[in-house]
């Protein structure tokens, strides 16, 4: 990629390889979306890339929430985490719908929101639960293989239309 909106840096690692791999994938799709917008790729490419980002994010969020439940997360911090995921999806959907209604390509407002939200969510919110997940065994190779297979079955392959 020639330029990126959001470079992956090691300070984003939560210390669980599969979760980090999924976060990198989200960052990669976001960077492809950014390039599609900057290069004024077709509306179809931009739209499908955004859809793929949302699909992947939703499946990743479901996995995080499932792991948190299995690791014993309950109460306000869990509820806030789930609410943050729902708010993210609603905000992105709202901005995307507004862009479609105004017959504009995906706005840089959306790019900025995606970058900042994802960075802060990983650095603060996701890191807050990582140690508990590690202690619960969600960093074993067997678990990572199962998690990878599960998310790959549920997401559309965004690179096919890129």
The 10s digit of each residue's pLDDT in 100-114 is: 677 666 667 788 899
The two tokens of residue 121 are 């969510």
- Regarding pTM above 0.85, the answer is no
Residue-range domains of the chain with CATH: 15-155 (1.20.120.50)
pLDDT at 1: 47
Tell me how far apart the alpha carbons of residues 24 and 8 are, in angstroms, rounded to a whole number: 7
**Mean pLDDT, rounded, for 61-76:** 86
């Amino acid at each position: 990629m020639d330029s990126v909106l959001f470079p992956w840096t090691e300070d984003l690692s939560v210390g669980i390889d599969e979760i980090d791999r999924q976060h990198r994938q989200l960052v990669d799709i976001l960077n492809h979306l950014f390039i599609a917008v900057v290069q004024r790729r077709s509306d179809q490419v931009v739209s499908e890339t955004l859809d793929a980002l949302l699909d992947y994010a939703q499946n990743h969020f479901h996995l995080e929430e499932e792991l948190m439940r299995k690791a014993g997360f309950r109460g306000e911090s869990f509820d806030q985490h789930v609410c943050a995921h729902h708010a993210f999806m609603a905000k992105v959907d709202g901005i995307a719908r507004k862009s479609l209604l105004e017959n504009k390509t995906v706005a840089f407002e959306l790019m900025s929101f995606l970058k900042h939200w994802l960075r802060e969510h990983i650095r603060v919110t996701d890191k807050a639960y990582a140690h508990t997940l590690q202690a619960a065994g969600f960093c074993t190779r067997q678990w990572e293989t199962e998690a990878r297979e599960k998310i790959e079955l549920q997401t559309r392959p965004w690179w096919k239309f890129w």
